[in-house]
């Protein structure tokens, strides 16, 4: 009997989530021999990203791609991946998600929330942009009104960088940037192109301060409907899709940045990161101290994976 | 498709026996959930979360602002300016009504609120000039709808929210269509008034009295300047503009015109409370909108329509006819929330700009304001003029004709709508 | 007694007006804080959103009391009185059934919120508490619906229950958007 898996996401069909989803769909249907039918539901059609996690807990949606910072309200430990400069480089990140830390996160998340993490997905760096000036040193961040998602860690990070963070809902963001209510913001590189922010944000700053993860989750209701064999096949499909897509994205990010400079007319700067990393470490420490032992332990596990 | 037919029948039957619309949509949604085995808790989740998007706040805030501007004397100043400008022509009071609605539309986000604000003063005036009452009521109802087309506009904000279209672009795009429809409405008024010989009682236009009225009404004219200037100057977002409008109305009403009282403020809040309650309609509507995706309705509609035609003009015309039909009995917000998700992907795929589709949607909603049985402007006009809905429904037909003509002009010449936003913000991005 | 009677008349209205006032103040504070004092307020958006939901549900209950909900009565009114009355009974029964369904599923939903707590990003409050309005709101609406029947029966059970019969222009009130 064919089982339908409704997988939602908040971005358009041809976005990164949509492409990741398409690979997952193909692999799942291949591995399960067509017994699991993945249906991708783009553009907030079945639930917004903010509500997607809850929808999986309720069992109204079977799977969802959710940016990590939108998981934090439901599972505060997720904020470790939101910490600035928590991953030293792409290899470190890969070791974390594929290793015991990744396994620990999956198990703990399932226990605390009843939601399965199928794949961490590609690592997307958030690139910073603004309309005021090129940023070459941390001093250039001073006083810039920066839109951030409503996430305490992100707010604290931009404060530590010397900017003036303004929490704004995504729905208000394009307008606020366009009219100059805020001076800038940060997003996954592709978003800057897809949302045409380059039209009114002349300065592109490569800080790689946040890794924006868009993991694929699945509801317990759905996973329980599967046979043991199907469950293994779906999980394998998710992991393989994640790896395959990460590879694609890695080369692409640099292409998009080039595009933003040549076609989009943005001025790119690659500031020295030492000051930013130092500021980020104070944020890491203060957040960890605030969140308690469990959080500190996880940060330590991640740091240990760097060696 | 049989399931969809069953759902449609359930909805129509429930609506016809008089179940309140929100409960009818809710029960239909529950049936839809049952049929494809999705937990009913989806209704509870959307029951809360569909009301939390920040831009939704503009609805109560603009209603409150409109009421405060009406009872605080700002609406009367608008009428004063309009009558000095167009008061001398055939059908003068009718033209004054249309013109004043256009002015008030620039500070109110809501068509029905505009009808109430201007009509409560001009309908009695038209009666006094010997107008046929249904005609007077029809002018007010149709001109009041301009409040939703001329920025700021609640309907555009909701459309922008569900379609992720830039709200400042939508606002700019509404200006030229707003003038076109105003002109069409004034022509309709003039032709009918001339045929029936309604008088031009006012003085011929001279600069002196007009400037005097404009000076007297400077604080009223100041509102659109403040709101639009604030949005385009980057001082506040379109959502926040509604909050600014409330406090501007309070300030002018209490300290400049001194026509507001605490009692009037409480009355305005109570009035807003009732209208806020109706928004509960959004909660099951949004749940149902999510379900149409599970049922693959957008894809089916897309395949169905593109198999008939792929000409943008004809597709928009088909959707327009459908919207006007739906708008007879569906509330405008519910219409936008429910059908934008269905039709937008289709029209974008054949090259229609989402901004144009937004303005098009708003115009069809305005026609919906004017068609019975559920036409918000008609019911208000009927209360103001104290005549039955049926009599206005007949008198409003020529004005509906004007709106349909306006709609056809806009889908024939998309640049009329798009050149202003594209000129200010550059051509739209290819998504 | 006086207090109870006042609450019976004005409870939802008062709460709704308070919520609306908080929304207006939150929005204007956000603008003033950002523009005049150059600080970003973190609490305004969430506060306004919570107040919005509460205002809508309180308003919805008020609308039951004031017969203000949008419903199409052309068909019902064109029927003979007895038929019309039975039809409206059925409609109200369906309405009550929907309210009961909503109370039930909201209860289940709240149970999930209680089991897997989540905290709002800026105020840090447990999402469970503001969302109790679902049960409260539909509960109030159900009570107000039953109340209209009690009053209708007490007043001699004439005409259609839950309708304004004083002036000719019934139920179909202005709804301004
Ligand atoms: Na307007
Ligand atoms: Na209508």
Percent of the residues in chain A that have a pLDDT greater than 90, as a whole number:
61
Q: B67 C-alpha vs ligand 1 centroid, how far in Å?
A: 14
Parse chain B into domains and list their residue ranges. 1-38, 39-425
In a domain, C140, yes or no: yes
Q: Do B280 and C134 touch (CB under 8 A)?
A: no
> pTM for the full model?
0.87
Across A102-111, A189-198, C55-64, C159-168, least confident range = C159-168
Chain B, 146 to 185: residues with Cβ < 8 Å from chain A are 161, 164, 166-168
Q: How far is C175 from chain A (nearest CA, A)?
A: 27
Q: What is the 3-state secondary structure (H, E, C) of C140-161?
A: HHHHHHHHHHHHHHHCCCCCCC
Q: With CA atoms as reference, report the closest residue to C31 among B239, B151, B109, A259.
A: B239
Phi, psi for residue A8 in degrees, rounded to 5: -100, 160
- Helix (H) or strand (E) holding A132, with range, is none
pLDDT band at residue B1, thresholds of 50, 70 and 90? low
Q: Is C81 exposed, middle or buried (0-12, 13-18, 19+ CB in 10 A)?
A: exposed
Beta strand A3-8 with A63-65: parallel, antiparallel or unpaired?
A: parallel
Percent of the residues in chain A that have a pLDDT greater than 70, as a whole number:
100
In a domain, C51, yes or no: yes
Within 13 Å of residue A301, how many CA atoms lie on the same side as its CB? 19
Please list every residue in chain A whose beta carbon sits closer than 8 Å to the beta carbon of residue B236: 181
Quick check: A123 and A179 in contact, CB under 8 A? no
Where residue B97 falls (left for φ over 0; alpha for ψ -120 to 50; beta otherwise) is alpha
Quick check: B381 and B392 in contact, CB under 8 A? yes
CA-CA-CA-CA dihedral for A240, A125, B54, B379, to nearest 10: -60
Digit-coded pLDDT (tens) for C16-73: 999 999 999 999 999 999 888 777 787 898 999 999 999 999 999 999 988 778 787 8
Q: For position C56, what pLDDT does the model report?
A: 97
Please list every residue in chain B whose beta carbon sits closer than 8 Å to the beta carbon of residue C53: 48, 51-52
Within 13 Å of residue B206, how many CA atoms lie on the same side as its CB? 5
- Helix (H) or strand (E) holding B103, with range, is helix B92-105
Asked if B275 reaches chain C (Cβ–Cβ under 8 Å), the answer is yes
Higher pLDDT, residue C168 or B260? B260
In a domain, C176, yes or no: no
Phi, psi for residue C11 in degrees, rounded to 5: -55, -60
- The number of distinct structural domains making up chain C is 1
| Closest-CA residue of chain C to B329 | C72
Structure tokens at C19: 């919520």
Quick check: B384 and B155 in contact, CB under 8 A? no
Digit-coded pLDDT (tens) for B9-63: 999 999 899 899 899 999 999 999 999 999 999 999 999 998 998 888 988 998 8
User: Angle CA(B176)–CA(B181)–CA(B187) in degrees, nearest 5?
Assistant: 130
Q: For position C171, what pLDDT does the model report?
A: 36
Q: For position A42, what pLDDT does the model report?
A: 85
Q: What is the distance in angstroms between the CA of the first residue and the CA of the last residue of chain B?
A: 32
Which ligand ends up closest to the CA of B107? 1
Q: For position A93, what pLDDT does the model report?
A: 87
Please list every residue in chain A whose beta carbon sits closer than 8 Å to the beta carbon of residue C116: 57, 74, 112-114
Asked if B358 reaches chain A (Cβ–Cβ under 8 Å), the answer is no
Digit-coded pLDDT (tens) for B130-179: 889 999 999 999 999 999 999 999 899 889 888 888 888 899 999 999 99
Q: ipTM, 2 decimals?
A: 0.86
Q: Is C5 exposed, middle or buried (0-12, 13-18, 19+ CB in 10 A)?
A: exposed
Q: Which of A47, A174, A200 sits opposite B290 (nearest CB)?
A: A47
Quick check: A6 and A45 in contact, CB under 8 A? no
Please name the residue ranges forming H helices in A86-196. Answer: 90-98, 100-113, 152-160, 173-179, 189-194
C-alpha dist (Å) from residue A78 to A82, A101, A214, B176, C52: 7, 12, 12, 49, 29
Structure tokens at B190: 């003039």
Averaged pLDDT for residues B349-358: 93
Q: Which of B16, B18, B275 sits opposite C175 (nearest CB)?
A: B275
In a domain, C28, yes or no: yes
Beta strand A123-130 with A63-65: parallel, antiparallel or unpaired?
A: unpaired
Cα gap B350→B365, rounded to integer Å? 23
Where residue A32 falls (left for φ over 0; alpha for ψ -120 to 50; beta otherwise) is alpha
Asked if B42 reaches chain A (Cβ–Cβ under 8 Å), the answer is yes
Please list every residue in chain C whose beta carbon sits closer than 8 Å to the beta carbon of residue B389: 169, 172
B271: which residues sit within 8 A by CB, 6+ positions away? B63, B67
Digit-coded pLDDT (tens) for A220-233: 999 999 999 999 99
How many Cβ atoms are within 10 Å of C152's Cβ, its own excluded?
Answer: 17
Q: For position A69, what pLDDT does the model report?
A: 81
Structure tokens at B105: 């539309």
Domain, as residue range, for C20: 2-154
Q: Do C121 and A151 touch (CB under 8 A)?
A: yes
In a domain, C142, yes or no: yes
| Mean pLDDT, chain A, integer | 91
Phi, psi for residue B260 in degrees, rounded to 5: -85, 145
Residue holding tokens 């922010």? A197
Q: Which of B43, B276, B380 sits opposite C55 (nearest CB)?
A: B276
Q: Which of C116, C118, C119 sits opposite A114 (nearest CB)?
A: C116
In a domain, C136, yes or no: yes
In a domain, C173, yes or no: no
In a domain, C58, yes or no: yes
The Cα diameter of chain C in Å comes to 66
Quick check: A172 and B161 in contact, CB under 8 A? no
pLDDT band at residue C157, thresholds of 50, 70 and 90? confident
Q: With CA atoms as reference, report the closest residue to B192 among B120, B269, B93.
A: B93
Asked if B48 reaches chain C (Cβ–Cβ under 8 Å), the answer is yes
Alpha carbon B154 to its chain's center = 7
């Amino acid at each position: 009997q064919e089982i339908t898996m409704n997988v939602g996401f908040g971005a358009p069909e041809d976005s990164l989530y949509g492409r990741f989803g398409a690979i997952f769909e193909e692999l799942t249907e291949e591995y399960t021999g067509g017994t699991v039918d993945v249906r991708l539901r783009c553009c907030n059609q079945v639930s917004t990203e903010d509500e997607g996690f809850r929808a999986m807990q309720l069992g109204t949606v079977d799977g969802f791609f959710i940016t990590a910072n939108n998981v934090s309200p439901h599972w505060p430990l997720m904020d470790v991946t939101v910490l600035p400069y928590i991953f030293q480089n792409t290899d470190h990140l890969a070791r974390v998600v594929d290793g015991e830390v990744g396994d620990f996160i999956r198990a703990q998340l399932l226990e605390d929330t009843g939601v399965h993490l199928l794949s961490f997905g590609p690592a997307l760096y958030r690139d910073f942009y603004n309309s005021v000036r090129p940023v070459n040193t941390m001093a250039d961040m001073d006083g810039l009104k920066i839109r951030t998602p409503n996430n305490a860690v992100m707010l604290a990070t931009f404060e530590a960088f010397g900017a003036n963070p303004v929490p704004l809902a995504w729905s208000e963001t394009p307008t606020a940037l366009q009219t100059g209510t805020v001076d800038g913001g940060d997003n996954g590189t592709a978003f800057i192109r897809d949302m045409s922010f380059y039209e009114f944000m002349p300065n592109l700053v490569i800080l790689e301060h946040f890794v924006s993860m868009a993991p694929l989750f699945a509801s317990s209701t759905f996973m329980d409907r599967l046979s043991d064999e199907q469950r293994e096949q779906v999980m394998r499909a998710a992991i393989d899709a994640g790896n395959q897509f990460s590879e694609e994205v890695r080369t692409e990010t640099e292409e998009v940045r080039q595009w933003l400079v040549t076609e989009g007319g943005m001025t790119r700067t690659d500031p020295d990161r030492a000051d930013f990393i130092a500021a980020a470490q104070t944020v890491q420490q203060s957040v960890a101290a605030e969140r308690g032992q469990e959080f500190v332990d996880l940060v330590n596990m991640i740091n240990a994976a760097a060696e | 498709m049989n399931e969809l037919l069953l759902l449609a029948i359930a909805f129509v039957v429930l609506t016809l026996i008089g179940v309140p619309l929100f409960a009818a949509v809710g029960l239909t949604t529950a049936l839809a959930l049952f049929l494809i085995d999705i937990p009913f808790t989806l209704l509870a989740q959307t029951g809360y979360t569909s009301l939390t998007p920040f831009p939704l706040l503009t609805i109560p805030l603009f209603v409150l602002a409109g009421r405060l501007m009406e009872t605080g004397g700002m609406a009367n100043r608008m009428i004063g300016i309009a009558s000095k400008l167009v008061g001398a022509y055939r059908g003068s009071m009718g033209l004054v009504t249309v013109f004043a609605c256009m002015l008030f539309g620039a500070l109110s986000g809501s068509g029905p609120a505009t009808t109430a604000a201007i009509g409560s003063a001009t309908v009695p005036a038209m009666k006094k000039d010997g107008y046929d009452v249904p005609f007077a009521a029809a002018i007010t109802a149709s001109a009041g709808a301009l409040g939703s087309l001329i920025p700021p506009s609640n309907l555009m904000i909701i459309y922008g929210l569900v379609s992720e279209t830039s709200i400042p672009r939508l606002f700019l795009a509404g200006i030229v269509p707003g003038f076109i429809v105003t002109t069409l409405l004034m022509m309709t008024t003039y032709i009918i008034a001339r045929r029936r010989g309604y008088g031009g009682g006012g003085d011929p236009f001279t600069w002196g009295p007009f400037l005097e009225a404009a000076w007297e009404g400077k604080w009223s004219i100041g509102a659109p300047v403040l709101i639009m200037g604030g949005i385009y100057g980057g001082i506040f977002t379109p959502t926040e503009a509604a909050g600014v409008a409330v406090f501007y109305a309070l300030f002018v009403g209490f300290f400049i015109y001194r026509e507001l009282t605490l009692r009037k403020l409480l009355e305005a809040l109570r009035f807003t409370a009732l209208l806020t309650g109706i928004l509960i309609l959004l909660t099951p509507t949004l749940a149902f909108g999510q379900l149409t995706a599970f049922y693959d309705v957008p894809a089916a509609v897309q395949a169905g329509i593109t198999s008939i035609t792929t000409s943008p003009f004809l597709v928009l015309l088909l959707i327009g006819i459908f919207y006007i039909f739906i708008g007879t009995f569906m509330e405008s917000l519910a219409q936008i929330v429910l059908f934008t998700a269905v039709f937008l992907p289709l029209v974008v795929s054949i090259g229609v700009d989402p901004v144009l589709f937004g303005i098009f949607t708003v115009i069809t909603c305005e026609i919906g304001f004017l068609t019975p049985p559920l036409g918000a402007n008609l019911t208000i006009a009927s209360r103001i003029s104290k005549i039955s809905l049926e009599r206005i429904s007949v008198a409003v037909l020529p004005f509906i004709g004007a709106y349909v003509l306006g709609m056809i002009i806009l889908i024939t010449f998309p640049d009329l709508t798009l050149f202003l936003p594209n000129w200010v913000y550059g051509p739209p991005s290819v998504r | 007694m006086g207090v109870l009677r006042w609450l019976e008349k004005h409870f939802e209205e008062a709460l709704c007006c308070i919520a609306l006032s908080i929304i207006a103040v939150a929005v204007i504070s956000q603008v003033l804080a950002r523009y005049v004092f150059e600080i970003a307020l973190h609490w305004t958006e969430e506060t306004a959103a919570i107040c919005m939901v509460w205002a809508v549900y309180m308003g919805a209950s008020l609308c039951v009391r004031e017969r203000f909900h949008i419903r199409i009565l052309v068909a019902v009114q064109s029927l003979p009185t007895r038929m019309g009355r039975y039809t409206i009974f059925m409609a109200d029964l369906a309405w009550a059934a929907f309210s009961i369904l909503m109370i039930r599923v909201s209860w289940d939903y709240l149970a999930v919120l209680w089991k897997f707590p989540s905290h709002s990003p800026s105020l840090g409050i447990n999402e469970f508490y503001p969302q109790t309005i679902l049960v409260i709101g539909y509960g109030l609406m159900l009570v107000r619906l039953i109340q209209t029947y009690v009053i209708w029966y007490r007043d001699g059970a004439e005409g259609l229950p839950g309708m304004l019969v004083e002036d000719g222009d019934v139920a179909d009130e202005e709804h301004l958007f």
